[in-house]
Structure 1
Amino acid sequence: MNEIPPTRWEQWGQSGYKDEFTRLIESGADVEGEARLADTLVARGSRILDAGAGIGRIGGALQARGHEVLAVEKDPELVERAARLFPGLPMLTSDLLALTPASLAATGHDGGFDLIVLVGNVIVFAAEDTEPQLLASLRDLLADGGRILVGFHPVRMHGNARDYPFDAFAADVGAAGLAVQHRFGTYELHPPADDYVVAVLTRA
């Protein structure tokens, strides 16, 4: 594989994200909206990949709901915080572009996920011009009938994130051999909106 470029998240540097969400989790705040929707998309005990897992809040919530979860995160500070907050959550330290069935197998993990969760603006912090490659890499990790749940702000809201209009996202989805099965404006399934995109993807 060619050298993996740095993500927009890496180029941004310290964001305060891990401390903010740690405080919310430890205060008992509800930070599981994405997990509730993800849980409805699969049967109990499904295999789920939390791609760009951050401090593990979604992967941990899905594991608590009875799913077999593998979390993947590149940022070592976030991996360390996830280990403290969710010590039972399997966490693989890797760039998402490096994920392949073979690379997972080399670390003792299988592909064939029933659902891949790519939420919390992960895709708008991907390395420049790698979005179709990222989506294609995740496509190759799906089980038959598997789906990808994506959530992001289409207009830049944070740090070094990109603007990512839905039409541009949909074009990248198609280029990756995927299709948009559903689009919503929130994780509570409100109609499509201009300020947030929730999409469920399938293989084309």
Structure 2
Amino acid sequence: MAEAPPPTRWALAGPMRGGYGENFARLVASGADVDGEARLADALLPRGARVLDVGSGMGRVAAALVARGHDVTAVEPDAELVAQSRRTYPDLAVVEADVLAVSPDDVGTFDLVVCVGNVLVFLAEGTERRVLAHLRSLLAPGGRVLAGFHLRGGPAAARRYPPEELVADAGAAGLRVDLRAGSYELHPANEEYAVWLLSADPAAAHPAG
């Protein structure tokens, strides 16, 4: 039997999660623009691409990509957010699981893995390289990872993830950094928020897991 993934910082945060789902429910209900990440993801893809949304939350990014014609698999470990996603976007299929429990043998590989909304800074302590290596294993040939997180001013329960540490972890996981930007509209890199585009490094034969 496979070892269960360790509890994430998100799971351990409890009340410190701060009403994430409720906040986005209000935004969606009000008609606010919550598709910034999805617009960039869509621009990176051909029509009808296979996308994996890791830490899909209440489903807003995955649903926006489905609406743009992509084949999307959403993965979310938080049962409350999975339930909210199914209520808000009933046509969106969501796998309730930690990403480390998702095997390419079961779900296949993807043209883009989306890992946005601070997912990487809520991982279980010390699992960053393991998760990044696992994301690499889920990439189809030519596939890429789109990630984004706060460098400063993020959620209280999240870790601080300096850019140089992400670059080192990605390299150890067999990924290379193709782009770093400061927003999903591709503003210049800054010290507040980081958007990353990663791809498999063909020179990395044995990425660290």
Question: Do both proteins adopt the same fold according to a TM-score greater than 0.5, normalized to the shorter chain?
Answer: yes
Q: Which residue of 2 aligns with 1:19?
A: 22
Match of 1:169 among 166, 172, 175: 166
Match of 1:89 among 72, 84, 92: 92
The structural deviation recorded for 1:127 is: 0.2
1:24-59 superposed Cα distances (whole Å, 9 cap, x missing partner): 001100011000000000001100000000000000
Q: Which residue of 1 aligns with 2:143?
A: 146
Amino acid at match of 2:173: A
Structure 2 stretches lacking a partner, 5+ long? 202-209
Q: Which residue of 1 aligns with 2:54?
A: 51
Q: Is the 8 A contact 1:155 1:165 kept in 2?
A: no
The structural deviation recorded for 1:159 is: 2.5
Amino acid at match of 2:77: K
Matched residue SS, 2:140: strand
Matched residue SS, 1:136: helix
Q: Which residue of 1 aligns with 2:74?
A: 71
Once residues 154 and 97 of structure 1 are traced to their aligned partners in structure 2, the CA distance between those partners, rounded to angstroms, is 24
Matched residue SS, 2:23: helix
Q: Which residue of 1 aligns with 2:44?
A: 41
Normalized against structure 2, the TM-score is what?
0.92
Once residues 24 and 17 of structure 1 are traced to their aligned partners in structure 2, the CA distance between those partners, rounded to angstroms, is 11
Once residues 111 and 34 of structure 1 are traced to their aligned partners in structure 2, the CA distance between those partners, rounded to angstroms, is 23
Question: In structure 2, do the counterparts of structure 1 residues 112 and 3 end up closer, same or farther at CA, with 3 Å as the change threshold?
Answer: closer
Question: Which consecutive segments of 4 or more residues in structure 1 shift more than 6 A?
Answer: none
1:95-141 superposed Cα distances (whole Å, 9 cap, x missing partner): 01212213xx2xxxx32100000000000000001001001111101
Matched residue count: 198
Structure 1 stretches lacking a partner, 5+ long? none
1:114-172 superposed Cα distances (whole Å, 9 cap, x missing partner): 00000000000000010010011111011000000000012352121000010001100
Once residues 23 and 156 of structure 2 are traced to their aligned partners in structure 1, the CA distance between those partners, rounded to angstroms, is 15
Q: Is the 8 A contact 1:156 1:163 kept in 2?
A: no
Once residues 81 and 3 of structure 1 are traced to their aligned partners in structure 2, the CA distance between those partners, rounded to angstroms, is 24
Normalized against structure 1, the TM-score is what?
0.95
Question: In structure 2, do the counterparts of structure 1 residues 20 and 165 end up closer, same or farther at CA, with 3 Å as the change threshold?
Answer: same
Match of 1:190 among 187, 190, 196: 187
